[in-house]
Amino acid sequence: MRRAGLILLVLLVVALAITAQLVDLPDGAELRALVGRADHAAPIVFVAVCALGTAVFFPKPVLATAAGLLFGVGWGSALAIAGFTAGAMIAFAISRGLGRDTVERRLGKRLAVLERVFARRGVEATLVIRLLPILPFALANYGAGVTSVRGRDFALGTALGLVPSTVLAAVLGDALSDLGSPRSIVALSIWAVLAAVGVWWGRNLITGAVRAS
């Protein structure tokens, strides 16, 4: 699952680079001017799109990149994180309503791993899952809903864990017309480092949970 996610991310970056070379894209300032004409409706609509997209398995990196392109790095990151966290909590609430049996049929043994990890350290476990998903983002949201993790811990860990990847994606979106720029290269490099840290941290959490079970 992690390998598939990495492949999709690489394909997304390559597709963006090719598009930037072949299509005369408006720069970030021009797009933000268009968004600005929508006044206060644009941020509200974008947060709602991120929330609903998260709940229905729409690729999060696409929305995070769009946030940087449309709103700039700072404002775009804040809007995307708010939307993603809201979407995660929607999925969390839905799965609690559906019950464990329904969700377990989709996640299988991975749900048992999530249960053991969340039972020990809810905020930390959520943070690690967001840095590098043990499960895809949306599946982890639904899986968490039927574990013992408290809603507030899941919300806090989700919001904090989303910051690095969302900001980096927003940086790429803001520099979409020049993906070879130094800041884009730095963003991709930091993303790779965070992925490595996430692998190490997540492995330690899972190993500790399995030993304690």
pLDDT digits (tens, 9 = 90+) for 59-81: 888 888 889 888 888 999 999 99
Q: So what's the pLDDT on residue 8?
A: 57
Tell me the mean pLDDT in the region 82-109. Answer: 87
Residue pair 117/153 in contact by the 8 Å Cβ criterion: no
Helices (H), the chain: 2-22, 28-36, 41-55, 60-71, 73-98, 100-107, 109-120, 122-131, 137-144, 151-174, 182-212
Indicate the Cα dihedral angle 124, 141, 96, 201, nearest 10°: -20
Q: Report d(CA 122, CA 195) in Å as an integer.
A: 20
Higher pLDDT, 109 or 77: 77
The pLDDT of residue 75? 92
- How far apart CA 182 and CA 201 sit, in angstroms, is 28
CA–CA dist 88, 73 (Å, integer)? 22
What pLDDT score does 1 carry?
A: 45
pTM: 0.72
Q: What is the pLDDT of residue 65?
A: 84
* pLDDT at residue number 2: 47
Residue 105 has pLDDT above 50, yes or no: yes
Which pLDDT score is estimated for 56? Answer: 87
Of residues 129 and 207, the one with the higher pLDDT is: 129
39 vs 73: which has the higher pLDDT:
73
Query: 174 or 21: whose pLDDT is higher?
Result: 174
